[in-house]
Structure 1
Amino acid sequence: MQLDFTGKTVVVTGGTSGIGLAIAELFARLNANISICARSAENVEKVVETLRSRDFKAHGKSVDVADSQSMFAYADEVEAEFGGIDVWISNAGVYPQYQIVDTPEDVWNQTLRTNMTSIYLGARIAREKMAGRGGVLLNASSFASVMPSVGSGLYAATKAAVISMTKTLAAELAPYGIRVNCYIPGVIDTPMTRPLLEKNGEAMRKTIAMNRFGSSEEVAKAVAFLASPHAGYISGTSLEISGGKFCTQNPDAGWAQA
């Protein structure tokens, strides 16, 4: 099974680091036109320059992913650059570290905007830009949506909401020829998670059946499959990419007996 996105345009929000960057790079290698957005104009420019230096078709813009005017203007720019949008990947997110009751109100509001409003705006843009041509909308959740942790409960709640929104959006957007799915990364070694891995890595590894952390590239490959025609009858679902995290109550027991 080969994946080829020649002639397709793929948008990745939060595409300058970690999983988002890996997704953008993989789709570029699979011959897609790539557009990324993020808050930092400097980071966007660096990634776009790197992709173009490798002869990939790349575009990027600094945007606030929770601002309607900014996002629709960005989508218009992508459409003008590449002639349309085929895959929209709402990957941007923030990971605040507070107990729910201790979360500052400004952090609460910003987390909801970044982790949920951006999903809503991505869906609105997908309907506007893909109606009549079809397309794919993919939303980033997290294993925290399945099993939340004290200290990041707001993050977990927003990511659980993404799963629910994905199911509803799959039904709402199906008449427009748009498939909608969600991907659920487990413990992935990224700049955002690295401090946590350095602090609690050994204990966290024991909760994973494969006894290792995932890579951004492994998530990107699963995302590319969901975006491809090979997943043409998959919509309204969530794909867990976690190495079997908590697939049993004692996933490390197999290693002890091997």
Structure 2
Amino acid sequence: MDLHLKGKTAVVTGATRGIGLAIAETFAEEGANVAICARNADQVAETVKALEAKGVKAWGQVVDIAEGGALKAFVEGAAEALGGIDVLVSNASALVQGNSEEAWKAMYDIDMMGAVRSFEAARPFMEAAAQRSGDAAFIITSSVSSVETDSPNSYGAIKAALIHYAKGVARENAPKKIRCNVVSPGTVFFEGGVWANVKAGMPGFFEQTIKRNPTGRMATPQEVAAATVFLASPRSAFTTGINMLVDGAISRRANF
């Protein structure tokens, strides 16, 4: 299926490993030019080179998402380097759990404000893109943890707040043809990732988690990326304001 992304520009935060990297690669494979950011300069340079090898334009920068000014400069730089912004994916996460003040601050600064600030910076470019082509998209990576909890947890609570925020963005910007959707992965396995570390350090808990999922496995980053890129594409032009669970039915919640 042609997703009608060829020649468009996608900006992806936190895109040098795992889900973010898979999202950036999938956009490039669909013919979209891609801008990325992360905190490791070598990984940014390596990722940009790999994306360019797919035959598209790519641009990257080292950014600490918690620094609002730096994030704004990255988004504006991406638009200048690649000629606008059709799609923004807020994927960067602090990836911290717990109820400590430090955990709450990290999740708020990076996950919540990273999404808010990146969209505000991208908004004028996305408005221009939507006016030109009839569609622009803002996608936020949340988590299945947003709908399940056993104790106070900064990670799940902030991921839930992102879903609420996205619905507001979707409704406010629908008249301007800017869509906003959320993708909420369940457990995702890749080497060097959280669940790879759990498998190595707590094999019993890892196996228990596998058994909780009716599919009997965890997702790959590519499976989450495929859902993300489809939602971001003009093929999904009438889909906005949703939270798409990509969790293999590990959650018990029925969404209505």
Same topology, TM > 0.5: yes
* Distance (Å, rounded) in 2 between the aligned partners of 1:227 and 1:85: 12
| SS of equivalent to 1:217 | helix
1:9 aligns to what? 9
Residues 1:228 and 2:233 are matched in the alignment: yes
* Distance (Å, rounded) in 1 between the aligned partners of 2:56 and 2:124: 26
Query: Percent of pairs identical after alignment?
Result: 35
* Distance (Å, rounded) in 1 between the aligned partners of 2:61 and 2:185: 25
Q: How much has 1:50 moved relative to structure 2?
A: 2.3
Aligned counterpart for 1:194 among listed residues 191, 196, 220? 196
Residues 1:123 and 2:114 are matched in the alignment: no
2:74 aligns to what? 74
Question: Are the counterparts in 2 of residues 209 and 247 from structure 1 also a CA contact under 8 Å?
Answer: no
Q: How much has 1:54 moved relative to structure 2?
A: 4.1
> One-letter code of the match for 1:130?
M
Q: How much has 1:112 moved relative to structure 2?
A: 1.0
Q: Which moved more, 1:213-222 or 1:129-138?
A: 129-138
| SS of equivalent to 2:188 | coil
> One-letter code of the match for 2:122?
A
> One-letter code of the match for 1:238?
N
Q: How much has 1:162 moved relative to structure 2?
A: 0.7
List aligned pairs for 1:112-151, cutoff 5 A: 112-134=108-130, 135-150=136-151
* Distance (Å, rounded) in 2 between the aligned partners of 1:16 and 1:126: 20
Is the alpha carbon distance of 1:149 and 1:58 closer, same or farther for their aligned partners in structure 2, counting shifts above 3 Å?
Answer: farther
1:252 aligns to what? none
* Distance (Å, rounded) in 1 between the aligned partners of 2:83 and 2:51: 19
Question: Could you say what the CA RMSD is over the residues aligned between the two structures, in angstroms?
Answer: 1.8
* Distance (Å, rounded) in 1 between the aligned partners of 2:53 and 2:235: 30
Question: Are the counterparts in 2 of residues 10 and 35 from structure 1 also a CA contact under 8 Å?
Answer: yes
1:64 aligns to what? 64
Question: Are the counterparts in 1 of residues 182 and 244 from structure 2 also a CA contact under 8 Å?
Answer: yes
> One-letter code of the match for 2:149?
P
Q: How much has 1:180 moved relative to structure 2?
A: 0.3
Q: How much has 1:4 moved relative to structure 2?
A: 3.9
Q: How many pairs are equivalent?
A: 244
1:219 aligns to what? 224
List aligned pairs for 1:15-164, cutoff 5 A: 15-98=15-98, 100=99, 103=100, 105-134=101-130, 135-150=136-151, 153-164=153-164
Q: How much has 1:108 moved relative to structure 2?
A: 2.7
Q: How much has 1:122 moved relative to structure 2?
A: 2.2
* Distance (Å, rounded) in 2 between the aligned partners of 1:154 and 1:222: 25
Question: Are the counterparts in 2 of residues 127 and 173 from structure 1 also a CA contact under 8 Å?
Answer: no
2:209 aligns to what? 204
Aligned structure 1 segments of 4 or more residues deviating by more than 6 angstroms: none
> One-letter code of the match for 2:147?
V
* Distance (Å, rounded) in 1 between the aligned partners of 2:181 and 2:53: 32
| SS of equivalent to 2:128 | coil
| SS of equivalent to 1:31 | coil
Q: How much has 1:60 moved relative to structure 2?
A: 0.4
> One-letter code of the match for 2:181?
N
Q: Which moved more, 1:132-141 or 1:231-240?
A: 132-141
Q: How much has 1:149 moved relative to structure 2?
A: 4.8
Q: How much has 1:25 moved relative to structure 2?
A: 0.7
Question: Are the counterparts in 1 of residues 48 and 59 from structure 2 also a CA contact under 8 Å?
Answer: yes
* Distance (Å, rounded) in 1 between the aligned partners of 2:51 and 2:145: 32
Is the alpha carbon distance of 1:246 and 1:205 closer, same or farther for their aligned partners in structure 2, counting shifts above 3 Å?
Answer: same
2:133 aligns to what? none
* Distance (Å, rounded) in 2 between the aligned partners of 1:208 and 1:157: 22
Q: What 5-or-longer segments of structure 1 have no aligned partner? A: 249-258
* Distance (Å, rounded) in 2 between the aligned partners of 1:131 and 1:62: 26
TM norm structure 2: 0.89
